[in-house]
Structure 1
Amino acid sequence: MARSPLVDRLRASAPQISVGVLTADWLTLGSQLEILESAGVELLHFDVMDGMFCPMLTMGAPVVAGLKTRLLKDVHLMIEDPLSKLDAFVAAGADIITVHAESTRHIHRVLQALGKMTNANDSNRGIVRGIALNPGTPLEVLEPLAGEFELVLMLAVNPGWGGQKFIASTCDRVKRLREIVRDTALICVDGGVTRDNIGSIARLGADIIVTGSAVFDGKAPLENARVMTGALR
């Protein structure tokens, strides 16, 4: 399966943040997205939860489609049996789609199907296929999926809600993951990211770091975004 050209673009600008829209002020969402763009953010992260795979129920494909932005749409599907839902999120303009290894018996089939789909924004740039691992999932599950993913999302909290504390064992898991994927896939860390720890997370070798409430704290989103992107440099 051909690799998405977006992978090279994302690697060239790594490390970078992907900002979760869930914690933004939705009454002023347009201006919130403009803040991210002015701060140099490239990725907008959508936490899609179905209330079954994890406790919360958040958003679906119509919300992803409805947000008009120049930012790349980074869609994290925390849902049961995602295969039948892929078409809707691709049509909604997803540039990255990440599915959970734990979400279905047939994760290989899901990744294969995603690899055959066309980016609705630009047919030439492809869709980055991501595989996500919960904190308790062994890294060995990646081995039989080799060649079918371009990004690995390492959850540093248990999925379901924001504001959780970063799980310390994630550091060793990311180091091991670097040895497993080497240059074949991007590494993403998601959960418990703050202004205080983002620099140390980047030094682990993460290409993309997901953050939400640490940016959209209701006080200084522009300053927060600039501080966090600056910490990566």
Structure 2
Amino acid sequence: MIAPSILSADFARLAEALDAIRGADWVHVDVMDAHFVPNLTLGLPVVESLLKATDIPMDCHLMIEDPDRWAVGYAEAGAHNVTVHVEAAKDPVRLARDLRAAGAKAGLSIKPGTPIEPYIELLEEYDTLLVMSVEPGFGGQSFIADVLDKARTVRDLVDTGHLNLVVEIDGGINADTVEQAAEAGVDCFVAGSAVYGADDPARAIEGLRAQAASAHERFTA
């Protein structure tokens, strides 16, 4: 799956940016509060407007303090997948259950420097694991390949039936890195500038999808 990130789109033309990615599987929306990360983007009112402008499932990545308080509102608004950071959630089990009860998939994100092992059991409560392959907060950063070990660990647990979730990756995904991520067992690829920096975003999505599918076939062969 390819999930273009509108963080790389023109914020003055977001409706047009959504139209440009109609072939996408999800649209990735980065919500930042200038506290958990040193950047401020958009919040629930803008997400509610975006939901009216597209039928592409919305993947909301909340890089915010106190997601236990705010995350469920995004699920209630109609977001398909709502992802919170394990480093910020106070009660991640309850939060996952509340998100699901509100009608969304529950996603858990983990920073590059946070180990995955302490949270394996917690992932049983979640539908998505978002592995950050850059430090959260800004687009356009370089891909951190070391995080792929986390994806491999979780992919093994999914393949052996111990977990049931989508492995997603966010940060520095482009034509040069998507195959590495696919070979590590990633299912969903967040791409910002690789899509919105292209002359034809829809064609860029198809190109990334084809590369990922080819790499996945090699991985599973």
- Partners of 1:105 and 1:29 lie apart in 2 by 32
Q: Which amino acid aligns with 2:24?
A: V
Q: CA RMSD in A?
A: 1.7
Q: Report the counterpart of residue 9 of structure 1 in structure 2.
A: none
Q: State TM-score, norm by structure 2.
A: 0.87
Q: Report the counterpart of residue 218 of structure 2 in structure 1.
A: none
Q: 1:187, 1:206 within 8 Å by CA — same for their partners in 2?
A: yes
Q: Report the counterpart of residue 16 of structure 2 in structure 1.
A: 31
TM-superposed CA distance for 1:33, in Å, is 1.7
Where do 5+ consecutive residues of structure 1 fail to align? 1-15, 119-126
Pair 1:90 & 2:66 matched? no
**Identity score, percent:** 35
Q: 1:153 to 1:23 in 2, by over 3 A?
A: same
Q: 1:128, 1:151 within 8 Å by CA — same for their partners in 2?
A: yes
Q: Deviations over 1:5-35 (max 9, x none)?
A: xxxxxxxxxxx11111121123333332222
- Partners of 1:112 and 1:30 lie apart in 2 by 31
Q: Report the counterpart of residue 132 of structure 1 in structure 2.
A: 109
Q: 2:67, 2:84 within 8 Å by CA — same for their partners in 1?
A: yes
Q: 2:75, 2:81 within 8 Å by CA — same for their partners in 1?
A: no
Q: Deviations over 1:82-141 (max 9, x none)?
A: 1111232123220100111001332222222222213xxxxxxxx211111111111123
Q: 1:153, 1:190 within 8 Å by CA — same for their partners in 2?
A: yes
1:35-184 aligned at under 5 Å gives the runs: 35-37=20-22, 40-67=23-50, 68-118=53-103, 127-182=104-159, 183=161, 184=164
1:209-220 aligned at under 5 Å gives the runs: 209-217=189-197, 219-220=199-200
Match of 2:166 among 186, 189, 197: 186
Count of matched residue pairs: 208
SS at match of 2:206: helix
Q: State TM-score, norm by structure 1.
A: 0.83
- Partners of 1:232 and 1:181 lie apart in 2 by 18
Where do 5+ consecutive residues of structure 2 fail to align? 214-221
Q: Mean Cα displacement is larger for which, 93-102 or 164-173?
A: 164-173
